[in-house]
């Protein structure tokens, strides 16, 4: 959600902070700010409501050559989007930026009021800033003051703190909100996301929960909250500058849709053997005997990740019929009373690897002794570090808030897991072979779809940009695609869209059909073709404005028909989903919405 950047070195800090904030814009925010210090000048604090461009305009009025600073993009939680609620916050000599939520801020605020602290904003962050300022008068070092304050707070945080009296260090800390330290020669970079560091250094430290870092020009020292020194591991950052650029595309979303042939190849790379018709994920840390014993799988995720899990459920249960798959929305599961069946494993699906609700479920599953596996994209993320084993998607940075390429590769990775289960259990070799062959063909099939039909889909999309409502329906494995399709439409075009199983049409949704709605009907030419066709006919009888997405050559009675040419069978829903992505993208373009940074949304949801 919010973004943090920081710099300490010999170069002017302001340009580095601004560049970092621009790279973090995709995460979602409503205000931004930076503060910089120099041994020879006062602190320069600049904050603005709105986009980073508003901040840039203000900074240009007061440019500084200060060599230390911190910056932030804020997504409002406590208090409306405004300049006074924007970060960095300042109390006394302390300046602070913060991702997360301080749950007991009201109690701390009441305590601080007894010492004549008066808050100027509505935020929990200013309360934490005031608490550190209060403790800084009782301790000799900023490290002691920050550690003391964090021992008093309840909640989640990633923070960076500077003291006007000491322009030679930045203190950072994390609990439940990611922070990365980039190490250069005589300089340190701080960020909540690796994209802000790319191009400056590839040597990084991923801060772990409960760690506090003292950043100085000559290096970094790590401590726990009791100020005991802890070990540090320097890793090489596996992302390049090209990955976070549009490379000729109008939007990151368009780029990421078109990257899918290559990103699926990257997910499959070294994991399927088309000669032996086998598949293997190397990072699961499970033996064949352990795989064979699995009887139940929890798939835990939020939003697009949960829909990827739902689609994978159809495939895994088809591959390994003795395995039951339960797909759980993390924000619900974490507060629910639930039973863990014997021989269960849990898959935690998250593009960022930092989703707060998914992490909370991971903690609970580990407490119950369940083997936990990650399906994540972000290398070094918290979920990737906390699970017992797992798989990286290798799709590269996904910048657009609306997930596209990650969804496809999440499904692919879970299908490979299903193949491994099936193989270990001696399941039907014919079905396993067919899935392996289809996985191998999938990238070229996506490539052909994008090359041959993107223009047609864009033309159809323009006809439906005037509608304010949409209904998506699909049967079997196309039901999760309907849910994901509706989500993409509402995320980026702001059209109200709902997804349903086609068989539920007469149980309520058909009442919605009128001239304010258009409908997207997924119809696969398989054993359910006639039933799906009959749903379309029922809708037409009530005045539907339907788009049919189908792989059949038969006549389909819809206002517009998008025929996907494919030799796939099992994995055809993934091709239909790419059609859906293109529909949503082109309708959003026609409606002139902010495609990459939709209103009110954030890329990585690191707080509830």
Catalytic residues: 2, 603
Measure the CA–CA gap between 158 and 253, rounded to whole angstroms. 28
Residue-wise DSSP of 166-220: EEEEEEEEEEBS--EEEEETTEEEEESSGGGTTTT-SEEEEPPTTEEEEEETTEE
C-beta of residue 62 within 8 angstroms of C-beta of residue 44:
yes
- For helices 124-136 and 105-113, angle between their N-to-C axes, nearest 10 degrees: 50
Beta bridge partners of residue 88, listed in sequence order: none
C-beta of residue 6 within 8 angstroms of C-beta of residue 70:
yes
Beta bridge partners of residue 171, listed in sequence order: 161, 214
Q: Which residue has the tokens 């997930």?
A: 403
Measure the CA–CA gap between 75 and 476, rounded to whole angstroms. 38
φ, ψ for residue 591 (rounded to 5)? -90, 0
φ, ψ for residue 228 (rounded to 5)? -85, 135
Query: Is the link from the previous residue into 88 a cis peptide, with omega within 30 of 0?
Result: yes
Judged by DSSP in three states, 564 sits in: coil
C-beta of residue 601 within 8 angstroms of C-beta of residue 473:
no
C-beta of residue 504 within 8 angstroms of C-beta of residue 484:
no
**Other Cβ atoms closer than 10 A to 548:** 21
Extended strands (E) in 242-304: 272-273, 278-279, 296-301
**Other Cβ atoms closer than 10 A to 234:** 11
Q: Could you give the count of Cα atoms lying within 13 Å of 436 in the half-sphere of its Cβ?
A: 21
Structure tokens at 445: 């099939």
Measure the CA–CA gap between 424 and 226, rounded to whole angstroms. 47
Distance between terminal CA atoms of the chain? Answer: 11
C-beta of residue 203 within 8 angstroms of C-beta of residue 182:
yes
Measure the CA–CA gap between 370 and 295, rounded to whole angstroms. 13
φ, ψ for residue 517 (rounded to 5)? -105, 150
Measure the CA–CA gap between 382 and 379, rounded to whole angstroms. 9
Sign of the dihedral defined by the CA atoms of residues 355, 358, 361, 367, in that order: negative
Residue 209's Cα: distance from chain center in Å? 19
């Amino acid at each position: 959600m919010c973004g943090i950047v920081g710099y300490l070195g010999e170069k002017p800090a302001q340009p580095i902070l601004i560049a970092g904030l621009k790279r973090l814009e995709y995460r979602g925010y409503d205000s931004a700010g930076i503060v910089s210090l120099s041994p020879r000048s006062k602190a320069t604090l600049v904050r603005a409501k709105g986009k980073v461009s508003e901040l840039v305009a203000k900074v240009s009025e007061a440019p500084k050559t200060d060599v230390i600073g911190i910056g932030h993009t804020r997504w409002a939680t406590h208090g409306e989007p405004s300049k006074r609620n924007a970060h960095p916050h300042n109390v006394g000599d302390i300046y602070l930026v913060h991702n997360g939520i301080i749950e007991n801020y009201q109690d701390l605020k009441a305590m601080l009021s007894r010492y004549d602290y008066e808050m100027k904003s509505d935020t929990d962050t200013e309360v934490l800033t005031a608490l550190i300022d209060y403790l800084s008068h009782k301790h000799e070092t900023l490290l002691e003051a920050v550690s003391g304050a964090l021992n008093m707070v309840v909640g989640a945080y990633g923070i960076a703190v500077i003291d006007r009296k000491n322009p030679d260090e930045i203190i950072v800390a994390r609990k439940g909100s990611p922070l990365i330290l980039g190490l250069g020669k005589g300089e340190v970079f701080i960020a909540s996301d690796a994209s802000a560091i790319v191009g400056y250094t590839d040597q990084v430290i991923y801060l772990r929960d409960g760690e506090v870092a003292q950043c100085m020009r000559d290096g970094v020292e790590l401590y726990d909250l009791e100020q005991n020194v802890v070990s540090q591991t320097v890793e090489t950052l596996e992302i390049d500058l090209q990955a976070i650029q549009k490379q000729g595309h109008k939007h990151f979303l368009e780029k990421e849709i078109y990257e899918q042939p290559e990103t699926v190849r990257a997910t499959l790379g070294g994991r399927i053997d088309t000669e032996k018709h086998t598949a293997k994920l190397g990072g699961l840390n499970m033996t064949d005997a352990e795989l064979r014993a699995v009887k139940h799988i929890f798939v835990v995720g939020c939003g697009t990740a949960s829909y990827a899990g739902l689609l994978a459920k159809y495939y895994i249960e088809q591959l390994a019929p003795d395995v039951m798959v339960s797909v759980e929305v993390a924000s619900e599961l974490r507060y629910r009373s639930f039973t863990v069946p014997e021989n269960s494993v849990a898959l935690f699906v998250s593009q960022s690897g930092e989703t707060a609700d998914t992490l909370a479920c991971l903690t609970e599953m580990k407490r119950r002794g369940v083997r936990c596996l990650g399906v994540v994209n972000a290398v070094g993320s918290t979920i990737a570090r906390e699970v017992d084993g797992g798989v990286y998607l290798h799709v590269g940075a996904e910048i657009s808030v609306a997930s596209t390429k990650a969804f496809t590769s999440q499904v692919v990775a879970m299908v490979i897991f299903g193949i491994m289960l099936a193989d270990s259990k001696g399941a039907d070799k014919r079905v396993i072979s067919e899935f392996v062959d289809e996985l191998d063909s999938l990238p070229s099939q996506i490539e052909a779809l994008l090359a041959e039909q993107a223009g047609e889909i864009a033309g159809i999309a323009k006809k439906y940009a005037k509608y304010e409502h949409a209904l998506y329906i699909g049967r079997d494995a196309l039901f999760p695609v309907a849910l994901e399709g509706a989500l993409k439409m509402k995320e980026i075009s702001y059209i109200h869209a709902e997804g349903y199983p086609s068989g539920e049409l007469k149980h309520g949704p058909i009442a919605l059909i009128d001239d304010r709605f258009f409908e997207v009907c997924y119809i696969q030419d398989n054993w359910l073709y006639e039933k799906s066709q009959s749903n379309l006919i029922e809708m037409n009888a009530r005045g539907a404005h339907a788009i049919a997405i189908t792989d059949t050559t038969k006549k389909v009675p819809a206002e517009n028909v998008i025929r996907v040419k494919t030799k796939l069978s099992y994995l055809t829903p993934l091709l239909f989903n790419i059609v859906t992505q293109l529909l949503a993208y082109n309708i959003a373009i026609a409606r002139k919405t902010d495609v990459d940074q939709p209103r009110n949304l954030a890329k990585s949801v690191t707080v509830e």
